[in-house]
Amino acid sequence: MVTHFIAGEYVSSNGSATKDVINPATGDVVDTVPRGTVDDVNDAVQAAAAAFPGWWETPAAKRGAIMYEAVKAIRANVDDLARLLTSEQGKPLAEARMEIHRFAYTIEHYAGLAKNLRGGYVPNLDENAHGLILKRPYGVCAAIVPWNFPLSLLGNKVGPALVAGNTMVIKPAETTPLTDVKVIELMSRAGLPPGVLNLVIGQGSVVGQRLLEHPTIAKVGFTGSTEVGRRVMATAAETIKRVTLELGGSDPLIVCDDADVDQAVSAASVGRFFNCGQACLAIKRIFVFEAVVDEFTDKLVAKVNRLTVGPGTEPRVRLGPLHTPEQRAEVEDQVRDAVERGATVLTGGKRPEGQQYENGNFYLPTVLTDVDPAAKVLTEEVFGPAVPIVPVKDLDEALARANDSIFGLGSSIWTNDINKATRAAEKLEAGYTWINSVAKIYDELPFGGFKQSGLGQEHGIEAIDHYMATKAVVVKTLE
């Protein structure tokens, strides 16, 4: 049984409640973990607070060097970590490997910025006085992460927090704690001082809630649904905690009449069905110019029909199971709602048949047309393998439909017309716009959702600022 990881070691819970971690492809129990308590969180925060002065005082370059050692330890264990991730999350092994590499790359990226932390100097502030702008870590930060990308979404918080000199308490999703805790163990054994990274397993309503209420925690990095994000922000307000929120999305893909349709089809297939559609930045609504909508639709359906559904451990599989039965039920409800409002199912729209699918949460990749604008697949976030195609007459209509959402996470456009591309980049209400490219995140670029998709930014040098307080100092030299 895997337990919490606090002050450099595995620690059992103060309580006795446990929960099974279930393999989404087979229904088997992968491991049993504690359901953390408020006291467990208090212990972890205490360990992080005790470790903070030492980590802050560590020269930044040395912090970076320790982070590099941690990256090496993760890379040396990619295969084992990927198998563990697939067993608890469900994604195909190839995607699990990519995610572990992505985590390592993010930590490496921030380790590389350790020597570039900067403040400011303001001359001649007053007679014989100048100003300094100091940047200092907040102290103890919390990271709350979901189950869809348990590793890469953790790296986005751990990387900038650690390089800035903070210590951290992590709460993984209750259904995917195993790879996260293993990675924290590896990083600690590689040289991170005890208490710098701590992890408490448990429910959002208990462990997450306590982290948000704990007076010692200054900053919370949260990734999850918009619904929970609202509550996170409200609870954090009680103690004026800093928050970074990366929330839900319903990303539009616009395909213009001059686009390379074959490439746009490939992008739509990867962008929608990666991780079985359970990605914040997945393509969730497709708007295609009328002139090419038939060609695009036929080619997308043909491509989708070639995607192999099955357990993530099988090499040919492109779509694993949905993460939980509830997650599948939600997608089924959204597709049913679209059909009741007149939508046509071009492919999928049901579970695959056969014995190998019986114990897992499988669902066929699904393409819909004739979708009513009020259908849930257009108004809600679809966190699974189903996508509506909507014909539009021109770019203005495409932009208006694309922006007609409470979400504003990512967006993309396929066109060979520089004017359309530039206009879309300016007008799309989203934190990212990809032009002739698939939804892909770069550590080099800042990313944060518009509207109800988020607050603050992760990635980029910018993310470090979200883990540091700015302080002004006046220096007066005496005559």
Residues that bind ligand NAP (CB under 6 A): 144-149, 153, 171, 173-174, 203-205, 208-209, 212, 223-225, 228, 231-232, 246-249, 280, 381, 383, 409, 449, 454
Q: Cβ–Cβ contacts within 10 Å for residue 426, how many? A: 9
Q: Minimum distance between the CB of residue 36 and ligand NAP, rounded to whole angstroms? A: 10
Q: Minimum distance between the CB of residue 39 and ligand NAP, rounded to whole angstroms? A: 17
For ligand NAP, the closer CB: 136 or 242: 242
For ligand NAP, the closer CB: 24 or 146: 146
Q: Minimum distance between the CB of residue 96 and ligand NAP, rounded to whole angstroms? A: 16
Catalytic residue among 141, 185, 280, 332: 280
Would residue 348 be called left, alpha or beta, if left means φ above 0 and alpha means ψ between -120 and 50 degrees?
left
For ligand NAP, the closer CB: 409 or 464: 409
Collect all residues with Cβ–Cβ distance below 8 Å to 186 and sequence separation of at least 6. Answer: 70, 73, 74, 77
Q: Minimum distance between the CB of residue 91 and ligand NAP, rounded to whole angstroms? A: 13
For ligand NAP, the closer CB: 8 or 36: 36
Taking the C-alpha atoms of residue 316 and residue 411, their distance in angstroms, rounded to an integer, is: 29
Q: Calculate helix-pair angle for 178-189, 93-112, nearest 10 degrees.
A: 40
For ligand NAP, the closer CB: 24 or 204: 204
Q: Which helix (H) or strand (E) holds 475?
A: strand 468-476
Residue 405: closest CA among 424, 382, 379? 379
For ligand NAP, the closer CB: 275 or 369: 275
Which residues are 289's β-sheet partners? Answer: 392
Residue 415 dihedral angles phi and psi, to the nearest 5°: -165, 155
Extended strands (E) in 100-212: 120-126, 129-137, 140-144, 167-171, 197-199
Task: Give yes or no for a contact between 456 and 447, defined as CB atoms under 8 angstroms apart.
Answer: no
For ligand NAP, the closer CB: 44 or 73: 44
Q: Cβ–Cβ contacts within 10 Å for residue 274, how many? A: 23
Q: Minimum distance between the CB of residue 184 and ligand NAP, rounded to whole angstroms? A: 15
Q: Minimum distance between the CB of residue 149 and ligand NAP, rounded to whole angstroms? A: 6
Taking the C-alpha atoms of residue 88 and residue 79, their distance in angstroms, rounded to an integer, is: 15
276 belongs to the catalytic site:
no
Burial of 112 (0-12, 13-18, 19+ CB in 10 A): middle
Which residues are 251's β-sheet partners? Answer: 283
Catalytic residue among 174, 246, 330, 429: 246
Q: Minimum distance between the CB of residue 237 and ligand NAP, rounded to whole angstroms? A: 13
Extended strands (E) in 233-298: 242-246, 251-255, 283-289
Residues assigned a catalytic role: 246, 280
